[in-house]
């Protein structure tokens, strides 16, 4: 008799493992199938967590090199020990993946190691076949299936990723030495975060971007300011250009680059090239076609607002259904999906999901951008406040950037907030809570903010939305 579950989640990333834990909390017999050999998905193993470990280490290295002197701290020689930095990152990943394994045990969620596919569709008793690393296939039966298989790197035509000279975000986490020159293709989140790491460690970094601006989903003014700050740090940008080919050789990589709008091609050389032009849904080998699960033209599994696919009892969450490819979006979908499977009502407010870029300063945005409000014809007030006018930012010696709040002109409800500045990712969370409660900018302005705090920038931006900022 095969093992039987109420819910089998395919994929142990932030969407999948959280979904299984929540399902177990609600009394369902749950299992997670994962083929990577470690839980936590792309985010924990080769994404969010290792990149943040390197961002933190490289930030400290840069501070020691360039900021200590102004604080009256003399250091005679700052040396980079890259192997130790990389080993520390691996250790951080291990602590996180093992932590997730512990959480599954604690919640009595079965952890099935192997690659899963939907083997037979049978309402109330779907069959999932799992192949382990020795090639042995075991079948499990489950009432519900949750597809949480995540995403993979989008390839760029004409460019072969070898993870040595031409790397994806995964290869960019394990470079054995600092390249003299690094070209990043794509000025999105990965490009700017990993580009920052290697620039801080000493690489000359040039970012080539197809569009005329960086960080496409962010607010326009924030994008411009972020570019200026990153340029000041030494990062170079070639905007409105596309890479059409790459040749690798002993001396590095030669890229063919053309203006995006057409024109003469030229070559650009680099020791290492990072391809970061986006990610696409991962659905290969899951048996979706055989199961009759509808996949969109762009490759995403189609699911309704209850995460139900077109096949009864088969659900999908996270990167594989599209939308913002963010771990925290996947996590919240996992919780909501488990609650729906358990007969509860649950939903996600997609208007209050923050996006954060962990450069320094950080970049964070939530809700609507000014461009989106203009396009929708919504009248709004805008309040802005710079970090240069914040006492704590000055005390920290960290004054680049500003915060901006967008509020409905009629109701004063907060419609969006965008920040480039120190700890922007943490600061934006008070606005996330405010937006969840349908708060007005006056609500934020009248909330007593402790002094001296970077968060006073958010309060002052809220005051500025009513033209009554106090400290500028
Ligand atoms: P992205 O979608 O953020 O950025 C890709 C960039 O590449 C865009 O600016 C695009 O215009 C550009 N591009 C596309 N084709 C190009 C070409 N041929 N030549 C030059 N530029 C080109 O994708 P990215 O950075 O690869 O990240 C993938 C996903 O992972 C994103 O959805 C992101 O949200 C997520 N992620 C989130 C992080 C965070 O929350 N901090 C960190 C890292 C990734």
Over residues 207-233, the pLDDT tens digits come to 999 999 999 999 999 999 999 999 999
Per the structure block, which two tokens stand in for 356? 């954060």
pLDDT value at position 175? 98
Out of 277, 302, 334, pick the residue that ends a domain: 277
Mean pLDDT for 86-112 is 98
pLDDT value at position 359? 98
- Catalytic residue selected from 66, 344, 451, 471: 451
280 vs 295: CA distance, rounded Å: 12
Judge whether 158 lies within some domain: no
Q: Are residues 13 and 124 in the same domain?
A: yes
Mean pLDDT for 258-286 is 97
420 lines ligand 1 (CB under 6 A): no
How buried is 354 (Cβ within 10 angstroms: 0-12 exposed, 13-18 middle, 19+ buried)? buried
Q: Are residues 26 and 144 in the same domain?
A: yes
Out of 244, 277, 310, pick the residue that ends a domain: 277
Judge whether 136 lies within some domain: yes
194 lines ligand 1 (CB under 6 A): no
Return the ligand 1 atom nearest residue 153 CA. 26
pLDDT bracket for residue 308 (50, 70, 90):
very high
DSSP 165: S
Q: Are residues 223 and 312 in the same domain?
A: no
51, 153, 189, 356, best to mutate for ligand 1 pocket (most atoms within 8 Å of CB): 189
Return the ligand 1 atom nearest residue 357 CA. 41
186 lines ligand 1 (CB under 6 A): yes
CATH number at residue 386: 3.30.390.30
CA of 119 to the centre of ligand 1 (A): 34
CA-CA-CA-CA torsion sign (163, 169, 173, 176): positive
The total number of structural domains in the chain stands at: 3
223 vs 438: CA distance, rounded Å: 26
Judge whether 469 lies within some domain: no
Judge whether 177 lies within some domain: yes
Over residues 42-71, the pLDDT tens digits come to 999 999 999 999 999 999 999 999 999 999
Q: Are residues 34 and 127 in the same domain?
A: yes
183, 186, 363, best to mutate for ligand 1 pocket (most atoms within 8 Å of CB): 186
- Containing domain of residue 271, as a range? 166-277
Judge whether 472 lies within some domain: no
Q: In the chain, pLDDT over 70 holds for what percent of residues?
A: 100
158 vs 88: CA distance, rounded Å: 35
pLDDT bracket for residue 1 (50, 70, 90):
confident
Residues in the chain: 472
pLDDT value at position 120? 98
Q: Are residues 257 and 178 in the same domain?
A: yes
Q: Is 200 helix (H, G, I), strand (E, B) or coil?
A: helix
Question: Any catalytic annotation for residue 451?
Answer: yes
Q: Are residues 128 and 73 in the same domain?
A: yes
Query: Contact, 414 vs 214, CB < 8 A?
Result: no
Helix (H) or strand (E) run with residue 118 in it? strand 115-120
Judge whether 161 lies within some domain: no
Judge whether 157 lies within some domain: no
188 lines ligand 1 (CB under 6 A): yes
CA of 276 to the centre of ligand 1 (A): 6
Over residues 6-43, the pLDDT tens digits come to 999 999 999 999 999 999 999 999 999 999 999 999 99
Q: What is the b/e burial string over 388-406, where b = at least 16 CB atoms within 10 angstroms of the residue's CB?
A: ebbebbeebebbbbbbbbb
Residue 254 has pLDDT above 90, yes or no: yes
Residue 419 has pLDDT above 90, yes or no: yes
pLDDT value at position 101? 98
Q: Are residues 331 and 395 in the same domain?
A: no
- C-alpha closest to that of 404 among 223, 168, 187, 208: 223
Q: Are residues 222 and 311 in the same domain?
A: no
Out of 259, 277, 295, pick the residue that ends a domain: 277
- Give residue 157's Cα distance to chain centre: 24
14 lines ligand 1 (CB under 6 A): no
Q: In the chain, pLDDT over 90 holds for what percent of residues?
A: 99
CA of 350 to the centre of ligand 1 (A): 20
Q: What rounded mean pLDDT belongs to the chain?
A: 98
Q: Are residues 52 and 120 in the same domain?
A: yes
- C-alpha closest to that of 100 among 212, 188, 21, 3: 21
Over residues 426-455, the pLDDT tens digits come to 999 999 999 999 999 999 999 999 999 999
How buried is 376 (Cβ within 10 angstroms: 0-12 exposed, 13-18 middle, 19+ buried)? exposed
Q: Are residues 173 and 235 in the same domain?
A: yes
The residue written with tokens 């999908």 in the block is: 316
Q: Are residues 139 and 9 in the same domain?
A: yes
Q: Are residues 12 and 144 in the same domain?
A: yes
CATH number at residue 269: 3.50.50.60
- In 174-278 the beta strands, taken as DSSP E runs, fall at 181-185, 204-209, 236-239, 241-249, 252-259, 266-270, 272-275
Long-range CB contacts (within 8 A, 24+) of 250-258? 252/165, 252/181, 253/165, 253/166, 253/183, 255/183, 255/185, 255/208, 256/158, 257/208
210 lines ligand 1 (CB under 6 A): yes
Mean pLDDT for 308-337 is 98
Judge whether 470 lies within some domain: no
Query: Contact, 147 vs 10, CB < 8 A?
Result: yes
Return the ligand 1 atom nearest residue 216 CA. 9
226, 277, 323, best to mutate for ligand 1 pocket (most atoms within 8 Å of CB): 277
Regarding pTM above 0.85, the answer is yes
């Amino acid at each position: 008799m095969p093992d039987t579950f109420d819910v089998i989640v395919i994929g142990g990333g932030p969407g999948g493992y959280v979904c299984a834990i929540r399902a177990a909390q609600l009394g369902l017999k749950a299992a997670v199938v994962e083929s990577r050999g470690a839980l936590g998905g792309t985010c924990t193993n080769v994404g969010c967590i290792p990149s943040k470990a390197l961002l933190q280490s490289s930030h400290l290295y840069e501070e020691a090199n360039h900021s200590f002197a102004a604080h009256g701290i003399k250091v005679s020689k700052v040396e980079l020990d890259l192997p130790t930095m990389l080993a520390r990152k691996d250790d951080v990943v291990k602590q996180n993946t093992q932590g997730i394994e512990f959480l599954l045990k604690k919640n009595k969620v079965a952890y099935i190691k192997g690659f899963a596919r939907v083997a037979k569709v049978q309402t109330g008793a779907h069959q999932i076949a799992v192949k382990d690393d020795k090639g042995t296939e075991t079948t499990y039966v489950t009432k519900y299936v949750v597809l949480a298989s995540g995403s993979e790197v989008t390839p760029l035509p004409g460019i072969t990723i070898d993870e040595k000279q031409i790397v994806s975000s995964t290869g960019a986490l394990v470079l054995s030495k600092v390249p003299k020159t690094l070209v990043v293709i794509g000025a999105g989140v990965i490009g700017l975060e990993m580009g920052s790491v290697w620039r801080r460690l000493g690489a000359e970094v040039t970012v080539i971007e197809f569009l005329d601006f960086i960080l496409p989903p962010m607010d326009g003014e924030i994008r411009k300011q972020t570019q200026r700050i990153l340029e000041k740090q030494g990062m170079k940008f070639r905007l409105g250009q596309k890479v059409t080919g790459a040749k690798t050789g002993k001396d590095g990589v030669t890229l063919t680059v053309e203006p995006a709008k057409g024109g003469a091609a030229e070559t650009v050389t680099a020791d290492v090239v990072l391809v970061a032009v986006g990610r696409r849904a991962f659905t290969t080998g899951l048996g979706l076609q055989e199961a009759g699960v509808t996949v969109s033209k762009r490759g995403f599994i189609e699911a309704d607002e209850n995460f139900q696919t077109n096949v009864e009892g088969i659900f999908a969450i996270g990167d594989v259904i599209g939308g913002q490819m963010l771990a925290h979006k996947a996590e919240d979908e996992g919780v909501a999906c488990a609650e729906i499977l358990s007969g509860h009502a649950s939903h996600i407010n997609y208007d209050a999901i923050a996006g954060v870029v962990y450069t320094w300063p950080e970049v964070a945005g939530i809700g609507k951008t000014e461009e989106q409000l203009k396009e929708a014809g919504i009248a709004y007030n805008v309040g802005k406040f710079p970090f240069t006018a914040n006492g704590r930012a000055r005390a920290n010696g960290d004054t680049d950037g500003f915060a901006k709040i967008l509020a409905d002109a009629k109701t004063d409800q907060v419609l969006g907030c965008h920040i480039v500045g120190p700890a922007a990712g943490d600061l934006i969370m008070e606005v996330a809570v405010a937006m969840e409660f349908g708060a007005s900018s006056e609500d934020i302005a009248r909330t007593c903010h402790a002094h001296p705090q970077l968060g006073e920038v958010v309060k002052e931006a809220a005051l500025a939305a009513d033209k009554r900022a106090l400290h500028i």
